[in-house]
Structure 1
Amino acid sequence: MCVNCIRNEVDITEGIPKQATIHWCKNCERYLQPPGIWVTATLESRELLTLCLKKLKGLNKVRLVDAGFIWTEPHSRRIKVKLTIQKEVFANTILQQIFEVEYVVSGQQCDECTRMAAQNTWKAVVQVRQKVEHKRTFLYLEQLILKHNAHKDTTNIKETKDGIDFYYGQRGHAVKMVEFLAAVVPLKYKTSEQLISTDIHTSTSNYKFTYSVEIVPVCRDDLVALPKKLANNMGGFSQLLLCTRISNSIHLMDTNTLNTCEVAHNIYWRTPFLPLASSKGMIEYYVLDVEPLGPVRGKHVLADVHVARMTDFGRNDDEYIARSHLGAILNPGDTVLGYDLSRSNFNNEEFDKLDRQSLPDVVLVRKSYPVRRKKNKQRQWKIQQLGKEVDEMLPRKQDQAKIEHDMEMFMRDIEEDPEFRATVNIFKAQQAATAAAAAAATTQSADALSDGEDEEEDFPDISLEEMMDEMQINLDGPDDVGEDDEMM
């Protein structure tokens, strides 16, 4: 038979449907890929063509040569695909045929949009808490989350009194967040679940999962007293130590010998201990003299520092000699923050067991810079923050003042410690710098007379090389949208 007669006698498209239905969610504009995956695909895209071809059941019995879209109106809810197939009909006879398949776009709401419409927007929540008086740990944790984009799968972020809640639409995203937090801070967590609904016909249940995360209550610059057993297990360390850094473990230092140790999170929760004093209890001292002793551990140099309280300076002759790790950065005339153990009363069992005769009167922690920037001079850099929803209606004035104080202390930590700010994304604040320069122009002469030689030349600041340009996409109107903007 000739080709035309073969085509009349044999239909190789038999068994392939000429019409099919695909489901589309109009809220998130995604298509359903059976059995339950929703994918994003634009009209006449490769992803949409793949989705359409998978809907044809008999297509695996023939050879697909070519496939392409036939243009239809975008609002017609119809998608037409032109297919070219081949099939062997007789011995050594291959027949090729071209035909069209029409797809009807049917509206169906996806699971995520259904939960949002029913105000049931989350399936798992990660509740992060820390029992301390300040928010500096959460401010640092917020910067780590932003730097690594760990919050990309959240449906909502809510700030509470003692921490932050992260809400997710899938349980796997919450587990991924817990794993990220465990990699950057020492913590423990427990999981609980709540039954929402049960289908007795299919034996399936719907649960909501809650991950309660508790961060260790020890922060940077805290003074701690280790339990005697833990200090002996770590090599006979002194029990009175200073916390220098927090990562996925607690980094401690003996300021008398510069010896350092790390307390892992599992060891801490086995033998927990609370800080004796936090940064809120530090007082300011005036440095009278510095006597380096020689041992050097990294950036720390052991020295005997002669100090006097700033409150007593000029009133009496009280002087203290403190062995400190700050011998490389302290000079006579500087000011330093530290803990006064001679006048402090700590409610701690481990501290009460220590020999008071062997304890130092003063433990120096960090260098301070009393000549702070003027009120009309803003920082030339800034940091980003998460878009958090506040759980309470309106914070009280004292709460707002506390939040601003914690933020100021965190910004000073970034300025004063290069290693600390290396883990944080810092952005240029050109508008703030311009406004500050204009405001400072009116008082420049008065500041020069009042400051004189008191302005510290070694005041810590952040160089432009350490700052990043913040990317902003402004679409003012339809005329301003170019090809690049549409692609973005």
Structure 2
Amino acid sequence: MELGALGMFVPAQTLGTVLCCICGVQMDPNPANMCVRCLCSRVDITEGLPRHATVVHCPECRRYLKHPGTWVRADLESKELLAFCLQRLESLTRLVRFVHAEFVWTEPHSKRLRLKLRVQREALHGAILEQSHLVEFTVHDRLCPKCSRAQANPDQWSAAVKLRQHVAHRRTFFFLEQLILLHRADTDALRRAEADRGLDFFFGSLSHAVKFVKFISSVVPVRSCSDKQLVSHDPKSNIYNYKHTFSVEICPICREDLICLPPKAAQALGNLGPLVICTKISDSVALLDPFTLRSAFLDASRYWRAPFRALLSSRQLVEYIVLDVEVESSEVTVGGSRYSLAYAQVARVSDFGKNDTIFTVRTHLGRLLNPGDYALGYDLYGANCNDLEIDRYKGLILPDAVLIKKSYEEKRRSGSGKPRPWKLKRLDMDVDNTSTSRADEEKKDTEHEEFLRDLEENPELRFNISLYRNEDYQPSEMASTACGDDVPSGPLEELFADLDLIDQEEENDNAGSMME
């Protein structure tokens, strides 16, 4: 009983039940007067829908033919491939309504794509029936025009872009590789190859190469020049065929480098420095004075007008142990990162057991360092700095050490060999194994491991990079305990799934659910 609007009790309305006209089971009334089981046994809403279709796939570049002249890139069981398959079934939308779609796993070499759909359609007397429908796509391999030309003659390229950076490591190229993958800037490249201190990209047309050079100049400070070579000439029609080559040089200043600014550059930046560190590389160079927390940005055009090199690079970092820290100022946000000035007493780890040399230095890492921590910095006390820019500053007193970042090497040594829950994708490149020695391969692996550690320690560096879940990773309680909780790692919420992009739902029987 319920209380009505006039204060009177009104009996609650109950929905009556009826008997199924086929089996006699009690059920809620519906336009067909049949229960779900009987309705599904007599009505098939998927009748007349296609169960087979074909798609054209290029095995070299892994693209699919959308319509003549247009190829789209999609990985196996990805969201892009699911959308492409649904577009192939666009004619079904006039007959049924799609509720859910997912892939049914098949062997990668089977050349079959099985798509499971949940569709809705009007049945008898206006009743809406939902049922599953399986569509199988047959994959036909065919080379796209670009790959066909490349297979016919691998050297048939019209333009080449040669990226170079004259430094002793490849950290910049590891970062640049992830940016290229993120923005798919190399989709038009016929071939990619590793070279000494750089990468080579080959394109089928001049416009694709120019587009790639513009992308590189938007993410790192570069200078470029171009040249062309005559391949053939038709004097009757006055047609010239050229091969174009772009030489792109990346700024030799890298993140965490210690720089002594030339007097003119320091004056142009508001008397910054002269000792500064590079905190970030984008289309400009971000510089920070670690003793005053003053910062400035040096764009590519201003740098290449009067180029200079780093005083010390990250290959020369020395490990220190922090004995005491006295914070001098509050936290200040500079370029998106937080710093605070402090005086720190440090000692070189290599001096333990040999001498009692202790340095008191001023650092910008006051918010990160605590007594007992380890830090990486440049040892100016024992370094032999033969730099012409330092000689131009008369009376310049160099500090004993310049701390760059907090170090987790000691904690990582106890948990060495611990797998990561994430991984990075790599570019498919041609490598000349005959000219590379075993020492070069080990150096490259070591530098890539250092790049992965930089990604773990620096969230700002991970901002423009896609991390993917490592399916082979199995978390171990012993490994996590041994490594410690203070060692940074990539957050799980920043990871992207590599293939499993669709949540699995429970398998339903062929009987659908009926709705009015």
Length-normalised TM-score, structure 2 = 0.66
Map 1:163-312; keep pairs closer than 5 Å.
163-298=198-333, 299-312=338-351
Matched position secondary structure for 1:399? helix
Conserved 8 A contact 2:147-2:190: no
Q: CA deviation at 1:391?
A: 3.4
1:39 aligns with 2:79: no
- Provide closer, same or farther for how the CA distance between residues 164 and 372 of structure 1 changes in structure 2, counting only shifts above 3 A: same
Q: Distance in 1 between matches of 2:257 and 2:310?
A: 6
Q: CA deviation at 1:356?
A: 5.8
1:122 aligns with 2:150: no
Q: CA deviation at 1:403?
A: 0.3
Counterpart amino acid of residue 351 in structure 1: I
Q: Distance in 2 between matches of 1:411 and 1:178?
A: 26
2:22 aligned residue: none
Greater RCO structure (CA 8 Å; 6+ sep): 2
Q: CA deviation at 1:114?
A: 5.1
Q: Distance in 2 between matches of 1:154 and 1:458?
A: 42
2:383 aligned residue: 344
- Provide closer, same or farther for how the CA distance between residues 123 and 390 of structure 1 changes in structure 2, counting only shifts above 3 A: same
- Provide closer, same or farther for how the CA distance between residues 114 and 252 of structure 1 changes in structure 2, counting only shifts above 3 A: closer
| Aligned CA-pair RMSD | 2.8
Q: Distance in 1 between matches of 2:150 and 2:283?
A: 35
Matched position secondary structure for 1:180? helix
Q: Distance in 2 between matches of 1:419 and 1:114?
A: 41
Counterpart amino acid of residue 465 in structure 1: E
1:142 aligns with 2:172: no
Q: CA deviation at 1:456?
A: 4.0
Q: Distance in 2 between matches of 1:236 and 1:410?
A: 33
Conserved 8 A contact 1:160-1:392: no
Matched position secondary structure for 2:176? helix
1:465 aligned residue: 493
Q: Distance in 2 between matches of 1:146 and 1:465?
A: 20
- Provide closer, same or farther for how the CA distance between residues 423 and 27 of structure 1 changes in structure 2, counting only shifts above 3 A: closer
Query: What per-residue deviation string (whole Å, max 9, x for no partner) do you get for residues 380-436 of structure 1?
Result: 1111110011134252121011101110110011000111111110011121x12x7
Matched position secondary structure for 2:217? helix
Q: CA deviation at 1:351?
A: 1.8
User: Percentage identity across aligned positions?
Assistant: 40
Match of 1:419 among 460, 464, 474: 460
Q: 5+ residue gaps in structure 1?
A: 1-25, 29-37, 47-108, 474-488
Counterpart amino acid of residue 277 in structure 2: L
Q: How many correspondences in the alignment?
A: 363
Counterpart amino acid of residue 286 in structure 2: H
- Provide closer, same or farther for how the CA distance between residues 207 and 174 of structure 1 changes in structure 2, counting only shifts above 3 A: same
1:480 aligned residue: none
1:380 aligns with 2:421: yes
Conserved 8 A contact 2:146-2:190: no
Q: Distance in 2 between matches of 1:306 and 1:356?
A: 25
Counterpart amino acid of residue 497 in structure 2: D
Counterpart amino acid of residue 210 in structure 2: V
Q: CA deviation at 1:348?
A: 1.5
- Provide closer, same or farther for how the CA distance between residues 39 and 302 of structure 1 changes in structure 2, counting only shifts above 3 A: same
Matched position secondary structure for 2:266? helix
Match of 1:401 among 418, 442, 462: 442
1:20 aligned residue: none
Q: Distance in 2 between matches of 1:183 and 1:40?
A: 27
Q: CA deviation at 1:119?
A: 4.1
Conserved 8 A contact 2:331-2:339: yes
- Provide closer, same or farther for how the CA distance between residues 456 and 334 of structure 1 changes in structure 2, counting only shifts above 3 A: farther
Length-normalised TM-score, structure 1 = 0.70
1:390 aligned residue: 431
2:411 aligned residue: 371
Matched position secondary structure for 1:360? coil
Conserved 8 A contact 2:263-2:392: no
Counterpart amino acid of residue 287 in structure 2: L
Q: Distance in 2 between matches of 1:161 and 1:392?
A: 12
Q: 5+ residue gaps in structure 2?
A: 1-57, 61-67, 72-86, 88-143, 502-516
1:154 aligned residue: 189
Q: Distance in 2 between matches of 1:284 and 1:354?
A: 28
